[in-house]
Structure 1
């Protein structure tokens, strides 16, 4: 969520897993939606799928893709893959009652925020949770409305869903934007992903039409000499017929994550152009994977290239995670000596002509999704070590929540690494020394360390908290949800509920929920709420909380895959 968040290197690993599923399961057949009567139509009005009069299809193409270069998505019989979800025992009456009470509390929180959006910001991108107004930060196309469609469906809010779909079909046009420049990545995950998921869940052809309209618009961003997308895209330049060119570099997460939505749109519409455009990116990533300074992983930003052979996504994921596990994850020294991991940042350099790797022991809330990714990868590819690492990463994010004064993890924090992954006793003197080193002090002084800890409000174990905000992020609960579904461990339900209650206690406003400026303060009374509620609060965070407390077969991980914005797409099964 760049304009607020987004992920760095690891989304490519998640995309590789998702596409591994998609490519292995690429035979299309009629599919049931979430509601019993919602069957995907066998025959959709052809104009819905191929409206050549549509505005974005009328834009002159400057760099057409030769027919012989158009890549087709894989065909063939589906393959049965290993199960991802655990086998859940039958609940006791008391456990079921408690779970349903918690699920109802999450649903009530969502309903309250939805009502606020309908009343104060209908058809706008976001509602402002303090001033009860609205703002448009993602094109003015109703980001919260579109992001929430599948959540409405999953939570069984049928009347609200029907009203929302009617409003989308009648009022949202992608021919113009409130912004001069749009973020192609954010538009893809929110709008294209939101429409595709809601269509997969409901079978409503109006949503497929909207998905195709967004897809046609985004496809024009690929009309460049090397057919790589323009990630910060000026719509006016495209509509005026001017020639476009992709930038020399792009954030790897932004271009890599487009593949899921584009592939799904091609599968549903039987039009290969979107898959082909996205495949061009993935082949470039494959070509570079083992040639980077840290072979197996990609840098945060990369030069746009094209070409290559059909990638083997399982192999690409395995190589990426082999390197990530070796270099990115570290065990922090903490007061209770918990055996946890945090995902840091690997930096490469050259010393005396030899490559060197150092790990910045920085944790970020947005990287908490890595645990869930490794859990799914471990299940799909029978990598037991990935499952072990996944649990430690998830426990690390839970630990960071539990050990902050408000029970909420900050955006960015630093911790002192253990000397050994196998034995890591707490050493208060080492912690204080690490606090001073992080602050740039050149010698150890216990009084100076104590002053810094007090001034910066550092709980034991944390050496710095440079970004103290909480902006209603979903990544921690996302991984808790996936870990619960893959293990069935009931302790994760308790952890999820503690996080939900902590977030509600400090972010709830008179009309909705807000981001907060500083989670290091001592009590909720000291919290300063900020007038922002990004669409991912209802599109992701509350959705994952709801699913944690749902029956395991609601959006089963053996039947659905989630995009970067938590929009579930139906897997095509044997």
Structure 2
């Protein structure tokens, strides 16, 4: 089945479309809200906020919330209210199901459909996005953070950076939400400025803001039929708005690379074009952060022809590789001053994760013309097998642990939820974006790639178990596992259960352990991201069904009362859960986007033609041309990782 625009989205020419969107976006809360009138009866409010990969300290402003227009149309109110009753009616008080309502039975986990209607499921993702977006638009428009329970926004800079707005642009394009996109674009054109005396994190700003702008530019040009706006048309005054804003921001980000070594500083001062070292860990930058800006800067270099973006990004990869990390596994901190690793902590969770992700994605982004990154990926994946993979007791789940004291130190059986990017990325690398069936027909297919796919399947099962273990069906931020001492090596025989016994005393539950401080769920995307890749690559329907079950858990347990949208959770292992009062920007940019793609036909953004940055912003595969090339060669190293010369 070919991809089609969501069937329940009004047509582009429908004059009622903008009227509907105005009502969604501007109707007040408890007394008159379309959603609020339903949700008031179903949810309690609690709170506290959090951020993506680390608790980076931004100073919010105290600017008052803007006053919004209020319009009501009785007929449309009735129609939408009926629709919302069908959509949200399955919720009971404090997150319980209303089993008595036949029309809401689709949300019941025990409901069995004879044939899954994936178009309908995809539309429910669109409905969830619009509810989330409209709550933000109503209560916190233009603010960088949204607290859906307290119904307020906060800034990370004096004038706002568009943190939520820009991060969600390409999701709205893919979902064909034209009027909402138009409002967002208007804000970018009129209100967004980087002339602010504000320090921002180099990595987060690159993957979210630069990546979001570049992806919006790409999609609006490559797929103009999705959420078309006249301002995007060729020759229109605003045609290059996204690209112009991206270049302005990138010029400021580039100042982070003006260190003694070329490794970017952790932060930048926007208006001063000045890099700033980290406030802790001796001024070191996170290794993952320094090596997770390459897709964005390389694509910008291709668009503009300005090679220095490319050179700055690529030099970092050489500096990191010249450290000669054993097994290709890099410590999580690196010094901008010396270009040397600081500390020995090895993990694929926070501060380590996306370094590995961008190795294979850089190789794919440039049409597989930079084999140095494939070489680095293969070496690192073997290092993961040799030093980090082991199996749990008693059920033999496959996990990726951590080595806090280096590869020769003890293994910690700890997995951040962030590590769940690995099943999908491993499968992507094994097939290079093709389906597994297609890849197996090629002469490049090997026993090693077969083993990589098996590893991807086993890790996917473990990540799904992290959801099944929790009371709400939503994974904790960190999970620990029960393992033998010494840990069995990757080569050990093992066979985890294929299904999860739902009983509370099931044997497999002994393998998992969540500590009290790690029970929060931040609406993270990594597991559904991997489900998306695994579905596209293997064609195994179970990955879609797992995603559907996960999506229903998000609806059931993270929805906020009083027209507030959805919130991250402070404790996802109790029912009703404890709310955190924060909607992460990646809820819109990544989690819901990957659900949408998982439930969509496979010809929407094919993996052989696109790469997704680590914030799920799709970018194109492109030919480097004569201007760009990999300007460095790897150095020879011995088995211990010590550099001994050039290859």
Partner of 1:190: 208
Q: Is the 8 A contact 2:397 2:496 kept in 1?
A: no
Partner of 2:567: 514
- 1:384 pairs with 2:450: yes
Q: Is the 8 A contact 2:267 2:277 kept in 1?
A: no
Relative to the length of structure 2, the TM-score reads 0.63
Cα deviations by residue, 1:471-497 (Å, 9 ceiling, x for unpaired): 111111011111111111001111001
Name the SS of the counterpart of 1:346 in structure 2. coil
The whole-number CA distance in structure 1 between the counterparts of 2:559 and 2:185 is 27
Relative to the length of structure 1, the TM-score reads 0.71
Partner of 2:73: none
- 1:472 pairs with 2:491: no
- Given candidates 382, 389, 393, the residue that maps to 1:329 is 389
Written as runs of structure 1 = structure 2, the 5 A alignment for 1:241-280 is: 249-280=284-315
- 1:360 pairs with 2:420: no
Structure-2 change in CA distance of 1:208 and 1:398 (3 Å): same
Q: Is the 8 A contact 1:508 1:514 kept in 2?
A: yes
Q: Is the 8 A contact 1:147 1:194 kept in 2?
A: yes
Partner of 2:335: 303
Partner of 1:422: 493
- 1:558 pairs with 2:624: no
1:3 Cα deviation after fit: 6.3
Instruction: Give the RMSD, CA atoms, in angstroms.
Output: 2.8
1:98 Cα deviation after fit: 1.2
The whole-number CA distance in structure 2 between the counterparts of 1:160 and 1:342 is 41
Written as runs of structure 1 = structure 2, the 5 A alignment for 1:426-505 is: 459-465=509-515, 466-505=517-556
Cα deviations by residue, 1:539-571 (Å, 9 ceiling, x for unpaired): 000000010000101111111100011100011
Cα deviations by residue, 1:62-93 (Å, 9 ceiling, x for unpaired): xxxxxxxxxxxxxxxxxxxxxxxxxxxxxxx9
The whole-number CA distance in structure 2 between the counterparts of 1:3 and 1:504 is 20
Partner of 1:145: 165
The whole-number CA distance in structure 2 between the counterparts of 1:6 and 1:185 is 10
Q: Is the 8 A contact 1:123 1:145 kept in 2?
A: yes
Partner of 1:218: 253
Q: How many residues align?
A: 437
- Given candidates 360, 368, 373, the residue that maps to 1:313 is 373
- Given candidates 218, 231, 234, the residue that maps to 1:200 is 218
The whole-number CA distance in structure 2 between the counterparts of 1:117 and 1:227 is 39
Structure-2 change in CA distance of 1:101 and 1:297 (3 Å): same
Q: Is the 8 A contact 2:481 2:513 kept in 1?
A: yes
Name the SS of the counterpart of 1:312 in structure 2. helix
1:332 Cα deviation after fit: 1.9
- Given candidates 98, 107, 117, the residue that maps to 2:126 is 107
Q: Is the 8 A contact 2:166 2:212 kept in 1?
A: yes
1:210 Cα deviation after fit: 1.1
1:371 Cα deviation after fit: 1.0
Cα deviations by residue, 1:393-429 (Å, 9 ceiling, x for unpaired): 1111111111222111101121112565424699xxx
Cα deviations by residue, 1:340-389 (Å, 9 ceiling, x for unpaired): 3222112446xxxxx83421101211111011111111112742221111
Q: Is the 8 A contact 1:252 1:301 kept in 2?
A: yes
- Given candidates 304, 322, 341, the residue that maps to 2:398 is 341
Any stretches of 5+ residues in structure 2 without a counterpart? 1-48, 55-112, 222-231, 233-239, 341-369, 433-443, 498-503, 625-647
Name the SS of the counterpart of 2:146 in structure 1. strand
Partner of 2:53: 6
- 1:406 pairs with 2:497: no
- Given candidates 267, 285, 299, the residue that maps to 2:320 is 285
The whole-number CA distance in structure 1 between the counterparts of 2:417 and 2:518 is 10
Cα deviations by residue, 1:507-544 (Å, 9 ceiling, x for unpaired): 001221001111222x2x3x111110110000000000
- 1:397 pairs with 2:463: yes
Q: Is the 8 A contact 2:478 2:519 kept in 1?
A: yes
1:166 Cα deviation after fit: 2.3
Name the SS of the counterpart of 2:565 in structure 1. coil
Structure-2 change in CA distance of 1:372 and 1:137 (3 Å): farther
Q: Is the 8 A contact 2:50 2:582 kept in 1?
A: no
Structure-2 change in CA distance of 1:154 and 1:573 (3 Å): farther
Name the SS of the counterpart of 1:517 in structure 2. strand
Q: Is the 8 A contact 2:388 2:402 kept in 1?
A: yes
1:107 Cα deviation after fit: 0.7
Structure-2 change in CA distance of 1:469 and 1:285 (3 Å): same
Q: Is the 8 A contact 2:252 2:270 kept in 1?
A: no
- 1:130 pairs with 2:143: no
The whole-number CA distance in structure 2 between the counterparts of 1:243 and 1:404 is 42
The whole-number CA distance in structure 1 between the counterparts of 2:262 and 2:305 is 21
The whole-number CA distance in structure 2 between the counterparts of 1:160 and 1:149 is 9
Q: Bigger CA drift: 559-568 or 324-333?
A: 324-333
The whole-number CA distance in structure 2 between the counterparts of 1:258 and 1:235 is 17
